[in-house]
């Protein structure tokens, strides 16, 4: 008889054990079932006693349950081992460490405006993403430092609309700290929410770094090509090319007063329709993707209605403002891109007031205002020659709006005019990033409706500087201002509104994340 092989011998032992287990009485330390008393037997010994069942219950035995659990555990362990082996093989093949992954993610960070225009542009067929790939969280922060090089001692204190670090006893300022959540929640809905974590409380002389909602809107697409859309919520009003340009993407540190004085914070609550054919979507995206400082996708044609008081301010009357904008971007055979626009709005604006000393003569008094608001309407023209590498921008507007009268006792209806012209150069280096040296002049004459009492302002400002983009994550702007502008904050003693004349050195560092 040939000797038994080990495998057969092992099989025989297992079968014998199973057979013995089936035939032998089952011993329970604590039976989970109620045994039949008629079949109960008692076994006794010096060390233990137990009860056995000769009539087994219909539920699975303890051995079967334990066996099933062991099989499930073994299967799970095998799956985990296989996954670990696959991950190890993939990691060894790709050669990517945790540091490589973080560095790759850091290199993908860019100006938030570029991501926005990518999301708003139509997607190619078959490129539909999962919902968690459609949403994006990003933002930027701007740190500023201003130094007054010289000012007229007989003029008004240093002042600049929109930058509270221009003044006496001021140093560093966290101007903006934005966090943006945006993306396509479906093929017909785009959402955009932006908060600023470095806002100041209006009227407070010393409180800052508060959170304030800047944008909260949804785009309803009538078609999957994103040609027709309806924007609903708190958003930018389509008036002025530079107003529409993202602050993170603008070259100068601040916007021009001529057009920016038309819409406070550039935003308001309203309803807007945009028409953007496919060629325009592609061109708007191309401009931003290639670092040419575009204004984003606000349609070839835009039409809307909005409150009119300005973003983050409570509405003061029942009148709605209306706005319309037509723009046309063109690319020539040599690759040069230009854009021309015309825009305008109309409505009634309510002026907020505060006590002043008219012409600096006591007693204090609050200027009289018309109930229901003042006629507020403007029209503007835009010309943009994108920097390839030399660029040029110019915008100008005229209109009518509220203004404090010459006696400073009443707000009346008056005319206004203003705008800017800027030239810049785009210098791309091999190792040191991209530089944008620029020169700009801007002018405004008329009522500054967004300030208390709508003071009659005269602004004539020249500036030169350079924006240095080290990489897509950070940039530094250094600017020299030659200012002659009305201080629109009423002074508690003496003449309320005087001219600030001086030279200002301004530095801004921006971080994109």
Q: Provide the residue count of the chain.
A: 513
Provide the CB-side half-sphere exposure for 265 (13 A, CA). Answer: 19
Token pair recorded at residue 180 = 């943006």
Are the C-beta atoms of 374 and 402 separated by less than 8 Å?
Answer: yes
pTM over 0.75: yes
**Helix (H) and strand (E) counts for the chain?**
8, 19
**Phi, psi torsion values for 102, nearest 5 degrees:** -65, -40
Residue 57's pLDDT is 45
| Domains of the chain by residue range | 6-59, 107-512
- Look at phi and psi of residue 355 and say left if phi exceeds 0, alpha if psi is from -120 to 50, else beta: beta
- How far apart are the C-alpha atoms of 261 and 323, rounded to whole Å? 15
Cα dihedral 400/406/409/412 (nearest 10): -20
* Element housing 115 (H / E): helix 112-120
DSSP 126: T
Are the C-beta atoms of 287 and 327 separated by less than 8 Å?
Answer: no
Per-residue pLDDT of the chain (513 residues; tens, 9 = 90+): 444 444 344 444 444 443 444 344 443 334 333 444 443 433 343 443 434 434 444 455 778 778 777 877 777 777 677 666 666 655 555 555 666 766 666 667 889 999 999 889 987 665 666 666 788 999 999 999 999 999 999 999 999 998 988 988 888 999 999 999 999 988 899 999 999 999 987 667 677 889 999 999 999 999 999 999 999 999 999 999 999 999 999 999 999 999 999 999 999 999 999 999 999 999 999 999 999 999 999 999 999 999 999 988 899 999 999 999 999 999 999 999 999 999 999 999 999 999 999 999 999 999 999 999 999 999 999 999 999 999 999 999 999 999 999 999 999 999 999 999 999 999 999 999 999 999 999 999 999 999 999 999 999 999 999 999 999 999 999 999 999 999 999 988 788 999 999 999 999 999 999
Domain 107-512 in this protein, CATH class: mainly beta
Q: Give 32-77 as a 3 state SS string.
A: CCCCCHHHEEEEECCCCEEEEECCCCCCCCHHHHHHHHHHHHHHHH
Are the C-beta atoms of 279 and 291 separated by less than 8 Å?
Answer: no
Residue 376's pLDDT is 98
Are the C-beta atoms of 319 and 348 separated by less than 8 Å?
Answer: yes
């Amino acid at each position: 008889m040939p000797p038994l092989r080990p495998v057969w011998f092992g099989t025989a032992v297992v079968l014998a054990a199973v057979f013995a287990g089936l035939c032998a009485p089952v011993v329970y330390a604590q039976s989970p079932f109620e045994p039949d008393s008629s079949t109960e037997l008692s076994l006794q010994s010096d060390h233990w006693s137990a009860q056995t069942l000769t009539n087994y219950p219909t539920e699975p035995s303890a051995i079967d349950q334990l066996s099933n659990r062991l099989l499930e555990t073994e299967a799970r362990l095998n799956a985990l081992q296989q996954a670990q082996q696959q991950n190890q093989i993939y990691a060894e093949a790709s050669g990517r460490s945790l540091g490589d992954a973080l560095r790759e993610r850091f290199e993908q960070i860019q100006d938030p405006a570029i991501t926005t225009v990518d999301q708003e542009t139509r997607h190619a067929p078959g490129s539909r993403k999962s919902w968690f790939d459609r949403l994006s969280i990003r933002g930027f922060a701007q740190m500023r430092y201003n130094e007054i090089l010289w000012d007229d001692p007989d003029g008004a204190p240093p002042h600049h609309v929109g930058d509270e670090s221009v003044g006496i006893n001021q140093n560093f300022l966290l101007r903006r700290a934005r966090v943006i959540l945006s993306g396509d929640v479906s093929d017909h809905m785009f959402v955009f929410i932006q908060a600023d974590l470095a806002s100041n409380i209006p009227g407070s002389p010393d409180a800052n770094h508060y959170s304030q909602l800047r944008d909260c809107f949804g785009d309803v697409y009538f078609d999957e090509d994103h040609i027709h859309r309806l924007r609903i919520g708190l958003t930018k009003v389509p008036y002025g090319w530079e107003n529409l340009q993202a602050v993170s993407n603008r070259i100068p540190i601040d916007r021009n007063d001529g057009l920016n004085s038309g819409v406070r914070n550039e935003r308001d609550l309203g309803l807007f329709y945009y028409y953007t054919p496919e060629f325009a979507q592609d061109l708007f995206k191309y401009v931003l993707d290639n670092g040419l400082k575009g204004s984003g996708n606000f349609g070839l044609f835009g039409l809307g209605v909005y409150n009119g008081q300005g973003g983050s301010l409570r509405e003061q009357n029942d009148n709605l403002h209306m706005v319309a904008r037509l723009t046309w971007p063109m690319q020539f055979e040599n690759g040069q891109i230009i854009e021309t626009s015309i825009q305008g709005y109309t409505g009634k604006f309510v002026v907020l007031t505060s006590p002043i000393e008219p012409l600096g003569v006591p007693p204090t008094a609050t200027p009289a205002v018309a109930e229901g608001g003042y006629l507020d309407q403007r029209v503007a023209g835009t010309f943009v020659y994108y920097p390839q590498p030399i660029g040029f921008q110019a915008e100008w507007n005229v209109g009518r709006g509220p203004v404090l009268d010459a006696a400073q006792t009443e707000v009346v209806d008056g005319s206004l005019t203003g705008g800017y012209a800027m030239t810049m150069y785009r210098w791309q280096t091999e190792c040191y990033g991209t530089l944008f040296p620029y020169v700009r002049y801007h002018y405004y004459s008329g009522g500054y409706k967004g300030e208390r009492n709508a003071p009659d302002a005269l602004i004539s400002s020249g500036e030169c500087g350079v924006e240095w983009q080290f990489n897509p994550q950070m940039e530094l702007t250094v600017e020299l201002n030659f200012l002659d502008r009305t201080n629109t904050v009423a002074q508690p003693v003496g003449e309320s509104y005087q001219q600030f004349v001086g030279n200002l050195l301004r530095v801004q560092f921006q971080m994109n994340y």
